[in-house]
Copies of this chain bind each other. A is one copy, B any other.
Amino acid sequence: MHDLHDFDFSAWAAAQGALVEQALTAWVGQGAPAGLGEAMRYAVLDGGKRLRPLLVLAAAQAVQGHAPAALRAACAVELIHAYSLVHDDMPCMDNDVLRRGKPTVHIAFGQAQALLAGDALQAQAFELLTPAGDEVPAAMQAHCCRILAHAAGAQGMAGGQAIDLASVGQPLNEEQLRQMHRLKTGALLQASVLLGAACGTTSAPALAALSTYGEVLGLAFQVVDDVLDVVADAATLGKTPGKDAANDKPTYVALLGLPAAQALAQDLLVQACAALGQSGLPQDDVQALRALAHQVVGRSH
């Protein structure tokens, strides 16, 4: 077994995160009319954890992927994530006023600008994936667009949000809850891994293993999210805790109880790492993915 002591995750994450921040700072809202560009940048350049971009870059590293393509994909998936938060926070959705410790976009810029900023961020994600010229091979551009569009749309994130919307106050069983989260948060997390993989060449078994890793990680993320909604306070979480229970939303904690939900998260971590172990990829190359799984399950916010 490889252990994480061989790998300096903090240094890796700091270096990769800096590349992502630099690219996002340069790209987000570039060429936008003043007010719109400001709202787009406010929504993205806010000290987010950049989990999805790091997953893209870690997966790309696992397959010796094309570096410029991976950086673009990393930023694109973050724009999709950021736009979903902007729209999700709006009064007609979750009506949240606080996000990562700051006023949400519609509080800071008004609802109309928030709506447009979200829409423009989604479009820009696909712009980032499709640069003109030969910086990124066309087949890789098309493949990345296919993965991201599917994960963001009605059979992915937006579909999961619609199921979530319809499920408030409904008793869901574990399979229904799992399906909702597989779409709502899982699809984009899994897509992050698949985007990284699409920046290189992989054997079918390695791709299947990475896909499993991404799926399990996505589920683990949501289980931990539900646990943190119960155990963390607002200062740590950077958003309003206890909202799920207050809104009578189905959660893993409500369904399984806190100890079983916490045990499930640990079990999923083992499964994610097992998928990497069975991928056939050199284990040195998947260390960043392995560390990210530990990070997701061990996080406190």
Contact = CB atoms under 8 A, between A and B. Distances in A.
Interface in A95-142: 110-113, 115-116, 118-120, 122-127, 129-132, 138-139, 141-142
A112 B93 contact: yes
Given A142-B130, A146-B130, A163-B33, A154 B112 contact: no
Given A32-B159, A154-B33, A166-B35, A124 B149 contact: yes
Nearest to A80: B123
Contacts of A150: 123, 127
A158 B90 contact: no
**Residue from A83, A84, A127 whose CB has the most chain B CB atoms within 10 Å:** A127
A158 to B, nearest CB: 4
B32 A116 contact: no
B138 A123 contact: no
A155 interface: yes
Interface residues of A, number: 55
A48 B24 CA distance: 38
Contacts of A146: 127, 130-132, 141
A166 B145 CA distance: 32
A143 B129 CA distance: 11
A37 interface: yes
Nearest to A119: B158
A182 to B, nearest CB: 12
A129 to B, nearest CB: 7
Contact of A154 (B36, B93, B132): B36
Contacts of A110: 92
20 contacts: A32-B154, A35-B162, A36-B159, A83-B119, A92-B110, A116-B162, A122-B122, A122-B123, A123-B152, A124-B149, A124-B153, A124-B154, A130-B142, A130-B146, A138-B138, A138-B141, A141-B142, A141-B145, A142-B145, A145-B145
Given A122-B123, A130-B149, A138-B138, 17 more contacts: A32-B155, A32-B162, A37-B154, A83-B119, A87-B116, A92-B115, A115-B115, A116-B162, A120-B154, A120-B158, A122-B122, A123-B154, A127-B153, A130-B146, A138-B142, A141-B141, A141-B142
